[in-house]
Structure 1
Amino acid sequence: MFVEKTPGQHATTATAQARSTAIHVQGLEKSYGKLEVLRGVDFDVARGSIFALLGSNGSGKTTTVRILATLLKADAGTVSVNSFDVATQPANVRESISLTGQFAAVDEILSGRENLVLVAKLRHLKDSGAIADDLLERFSLTDAAARRVSSYSGGMRRRLDIAMSLIGNSPVIFLDEPTAGLDPEGRIEVWHAVKQLAGHGTTVLLITQYLDEAEQLADRIAILHKGRIIANGTLAELKQLLPPATVEYVEKQPTLEEIFLAIIGGHDKSDATGTNN
């Protein structure tokens, strides 16, 4: 049955969609001379979701996030973050976001707690100590709060870096290659932290070239290739793009991740009991 909508109903629907969308990108273009880096990029990110922008080196991922973060001007297109236009309301956009780059921006001389307190004070927030303690607990860093960051593992530094970026309760966070250079255990720690972000209602734009990372974390995945979005959907939707394979017999084998965690977990237990087999 077809029901014709009045102009007022169309406006109400558009407003509702805008409120439910944290990031809106349409027709985004960027060139450096004759080099076309972005050639009409379109995507939307729902509030409180994890959206992975997946692509190889040189696909335009970092250029896209720099435009979204107001660090770079687009040549064409419409971009809004938290309902603010990136081109005309850059100050409002910057107040709405946090950006975590490819390398942890932490002070190694200070302790983990001191890093968090410092950022809270720089943002002129009250109760900086309470804010720091809450984030330390949230990211499982309470036991290491008083230690110098120079003694932290790569995964711990990355978790602290993400925690620092959340001070001020930014509704949108950009994570640019958050697990680059981390060992397997560190990557899993960061994945857990990112899932916690979305669980608390934060919208996460994940920029990555790691397929397993997008598979593990993202509610939706967009594949950026040569400056264009060539696929965009849930993991289940993207799987439907390939024809199903005919399998007569499947024997489930443990993944390398499961093997790794089982081995180090067993080793930790033997250390705790003082036995070595």
Structure 2
Amino acid sequence: MIDAHGLRKTFTTRGRRGAIQTVEAVRGVDLAVETGEIFGVLGPNGAGKTTTIRMLATLIAPDAGTATVAGHDLLTEPGRIRARLGYVSQAGGVEENTTPRAQIMMAARVHGLARASEATADVLDRFDLSEVADRPARTLSGGQRRRVAIALGLVHSPPLLFLDEPTTGLDPQNRANLWNRIRELRERGTSVLLSTHYLDEADALCDRLAIIDHGLVVAQGTPSELKREVSGDVVTLRVGDPEPAAEKLKPYARETRVDDEVLRVYVDDGERALPAMLRVLEEHGLGLTSISLERSTLDDVFLAKTGRSLRDTGAAA
């Protein structure tokens, strides 16, 4: 659905004293998004996520690089891309003094839908907005306004939807509700490109993701693959005699560490390794007091790839 190579974008601004400043927002991004998946772009504020999405949405032209989006060339067929694309910005694009129905109807007509009224009613129903469809948007909750924004991007049934920081500012209940809506889009066959700086959001929603920092992709893959690549899982055991236990469990481990009666075993896939490890301990009569399985996080991946925690940037949740 998206195949991008070497995308670059530099902005030139003028400082307070008139000095020209050059900012390399995107410095060579490669992305490959498959049909029918939720693909995440994870990174702190200012990493280049929004600039990358705006280039792929044909809203700004790249300085370098190539891409095909929804089967069309980014540089030579921007109009064809827009016809097959839904785009929801961070701001959302909802006009506060107009009703959701009127705004969505206008979007349907702009896209040339022959049955604009039916398409509007359908998308209002899909996003549970029918009861508030004729109220001014300023009277809606934050979660309802975000659902209106996504409905605006979906009224023409595009195969590809861009969501730029879709849950920023929402409370936990509305975030969870919107996550379910995004999953439903995937189930209907819509491909979703999602930018976020929330670790839990990327982990919960994305089939695959790219981690972007300072305008570069520093890691790409499924959340599970990325976490296993960096540190795998940690099985923590309390045993009476940890040294012999560590020796017996070495075939399952990347690494073992002993601290008093606590044995930490670093493994690639804790769920698969745990039953076999328990059998080995039982067979050799090594008494086990407690056991726990801890998974690495996407923040561990970000730390390994960039040298700092995403949480330290103030962006993650």
Q: TM-score range by the shorter chain?
A: 0.7 to 0.9
Aligned to 1:170: 158
What's 2:104 paired with? 116
Which one of the candidate residues 171, 181, 206 is aligned to 1:218? 206
Q: CA 1:94–1:251 in structure 2 vs 1: closer, same or farther (change >3 Å)? A: closer
SS at match of 2:28: strand
- The whole-number CA distance in structure 1 between the counterparts of 2:10 and 2:293 is 49
TM-score, normalised to structure 1, is 0.78
Structure 2 alignment gaps of length 5 or more:
13-21, 238-290, 295-317
CA shift for structure 1 position 251: 9.5
Which residue of structure 2 lines up, in the alignment, with residue 231 of structure 1? 219
Q: CA RMSD in A?
A: 1.9
Deviation, 1:245, is 1.8
After superposition, residues 21-32 of structure 1 pair within 5 angstroms as: 22-32=1-11
Which of 84, 92, 102 aligns to 1:104? It is 92
Deviates more, 1:49-58 or 1:238-247: 238-247
Determine the C-alpha separation between the residues in 1 that align with 2:205 and 2:49. Answer: 17
Higher-strand-fraction structure: 2
2: CA distance between counterparts of 1:136 and 1:88?
A: 34
Task: Give the counterpart of 1:246 among 193, 217, 235.
Answer: 235
Q: Secondary structure at the match of 1:201?
A: coil
Q: Is the 8 A contact 1:25 1:42 kept in 2?
A: yes
1:49 and 1:201 map into 2 onto residues whose CA distance is: 8
The alpha carbon displacement at 1:208 in A equals 0.9
| 2:50 pairs with 1:76 | no
Contact 1:159/1:189 (8 A) holds in 2? no
User: What's the % identity of the aligned pairs?
Assistant: 41
Match of 2:178 in 1: 190
What is the SS of the residue equivalent to 2:230? coil
Distance 1:117 1:30 in 2: 35
Q: For this pair of structures, how many residues does the alignment match? A: 231
1:119–1:38: structure 2 CA closer, same or farther, 3 Å change rule? closer
Runs of at least 5 residues in structure 1 that lack an aligned partner in the other structure: 1-21, 253-277
Relative to 1, partners in 2 of residues 1:65 and 1:247: Cα closer, same or farther, differing over 3 Å? same
Instruction: Quote the residue 1:9 is aligned against.
Output: none
Deviation track 1:134-165 (CA, whole Å, cap 9, x = no partner) reads 11121122232333322211111101110111
